[in-house]
A and B are shown apart, each in its own frame.
Chain A
Amino acid sequence: MVVKSKSRRQFLKFIVSSLSAVGALFAFWPFVKSMQPGKKAQSTSSPIAVDIKGLLPNQKIAVTWQGMPIYIIKRTENQIAELEKKEPYPRDPDSLYSKQPQNSSNDFRSLNKDIFVVVAICTHLGCSPTYKPEQASVDKDWAGGFFCACHGSKFDLAGRVYKQVPAPTNLMVPPYYFPNKDTIVIGADKAGDERYV
């Protein structure tokens, strides 16, 4: 076929090139989608039960949930009092911009005052902060907390980030509950809760 008119040729050029571009985009989509987390990745996220009978103050239990390191620690009376003072003022003292379950939205970011459960992944770039409960163990004003050695972010014993460090928000608190005094279930708010699975 011979296309005579110039505008007609231009129109055909436009149609062919724009439709090919759209087609190429669609062809790309399955490849892009294929890189998303699959079923197997999602199934590791079911809740886990941890025995905390032997946990003493200033101790830590580290477990894995959804492939993430979770710390379970026990705070002392002094440390609890320190947290109530909210001093020196952290960046997000009321955890408005941070992630925690509804029932942990309090000054201690936990269900109980003493037991604290936290996702040990720095909100800066994902290193695991170390648990440093002793006073002055990071610098001379250190009141106990979590210290991320990668780029020096500091968090208090409720996982709240201090100012002047690179991490923007508080450490994340996972959903959890106590089926009985000595056990903690991480990954659900209450028994049978499957929301996070």
Chain B
Amino acid sequence: MSKLGDWLEQRLPIAGFLRKNLKEYYVHSSINFWYAMGAIAFVMLAVQVISGIFLLMYYVPTTEQAFSSIQYMMREIPYGWLIRYLHVVGASFFFIAIYLHMFRALLYGSYKNPREFLWMSGVVIYILMIAIAYTGYVLPWGQMSYWATRVIISFLTVIPYVGDGLAQWLQGDFVVSSVTLSRFFAFHIVAFPLVIFLFIGIHIVALHVVGSNNPEGVTVNAHKKPAKNLRKKVIPFYPYVISKDLFVVFVALALFLGVVFYAPTFYGFFLEHINQVPANPMVTPSHIHPVWYLSPFYAILRAVPDKLLGVIFMFLSLVILFFLPWLDKSPVKSMRYKGRLSRGSLCVFILSVIMLGYYGMVPATDTHLFWTRIFTVLYFGHFVLMPIYTRIETCKQPPELN
């Protein structure tokens, strides 16, 4: 290495750090497409940060100007429309990547020992993403922004005695107002992103401590150079995995830009039509619903015909994810080697998430409510029954590394 390089390396060992974590980080070669989702999430995070900074240059967080400042940016600023659509579509793509990323963990048992902490750090990131998405959704101050804020702050009022006071404290006024908008702005652009960066750091450190899982569920020492006979099965992250990741990232970026250029609102799924109307505190839109990625939780809220219990079940549906590592009693990790019951339950679970997502977006008629309740039961059933069905089913013998 050059003299300058050596000099720097002795004072700040970047090259050594990268070598340890990329070239000398070993994974199983069965790692597949699903393992590129983490990389995509990183790219989407960068897209959000960069487009967000440029949005900030024109956005004004007051009730008078929020809506019009965004319209102005989209119509009058060169490429303003592009910057805004990158951010809006980016949010949805971020969630798509994360949902696939989480599904991968369910599929291959990546939450199981020794990756419980890694999984839980992921759940924290997911909750923070929801918080960021929600506070960001408020900023354009359209009809949906306003009413979603009203409804979600009202969740606090279910808390006995202190609930009302807590809601007023959070919104900083007797009703959702300009005060609420500017503090949500502070949360969205500073507070929550700082915390999420911290947790993403923790996530990656935790990953590199225990090493990546794989579809076969075999245990690989991530930090030890494999013996000669294993060199085809255990490969270093750089250059093998990273080139695969890059390929998937480019395909995902192409899809992403395709949507940004040709269908930026994605038929009202990524940017709702009703939110193109400025907020009006006097009129609730006849049908309010959240963006697709939060819709399943909203469906669960509506499924329960009691205010307090509805909010409790909605939060439980998130919190239960933390306990997953201890609910799964199976001796094997990957679905490839688990029994029929686990596979069936995972299918039913995915179906119920999708169906809850659908029912959260359509009006709450009696038939819709009936099905929403069925799928809510199935959603929780997957977790609550897990200690039973993972114990009684027969699994296949997973391979050993040799």
Contact = CB atoms under 8 A, between A and B. Distances in A.
Interface of A: 32, 35-38, 41-42, 45, 62, 64, 66-69, 124-130, 148-152, 164-168
Interface centre among B150, B281, B284 (most CB of A within 10 A): B284
Interface in B173-195: 173-175, 177, 179, 183
Give the top 5 A-B pairs by smallest Cβ distance, nearest first.
A67-B175, A125-B154, A126-B154, A125-B151, A128-B284
B305 A166 contact: yes
B174 A41 contact: yes
A166 B179 contact: no
Interface residues of B, number: 35
Contact of A37 (B179, B283, B286): B179
Contacts of B147: 127, 150
B150 A168 contact: no
A126 B183 CA distance: 20
Nearest to A66: B174
Contact of B175 (A68, A129, A149, A165): A68
Contact of A151 (B173, B283, B364): B364
B208 interface: no
A41 B307 contact: no
B168 interface: yes
A150 B284 contact: yes
B4 interface: no
A38 B157 CA distance: 20
Contact of B173 (A41, A124, A128, A167): A41
Contacts of A148: 284
Interface of B: 147, 150-155, 157, 168-170, 172-175, 177, 179, 183, 281-284, 286-288, 301-302, 304-308, 310, 363-364
Contacts of B157: 126
Contacts of B183: 35
27 contacts: A35-B172, A36-B168, A36-B172, A37-B169, A38-B172, A41-B174, A41-B179, A42-B174, A45-B174, A69-B282, A124-B307, A125-B151, A125-B155, A126-B153, A127-B150, A127-B151, A127-B288, A128-B284, A148-B284, A149-B286, A149-B288, A149-B363, A151-B301, A151-B364, A166-B305, A166-B306, A167-B307
Contact of B151 (A42, A130, A150): A150
A68 B174 contact: yes
A184 to B, nearest CB: 18
Contacts of B169: 32, 35-37
B302 A127 contact: no
A123 to B, nearest CB: 8
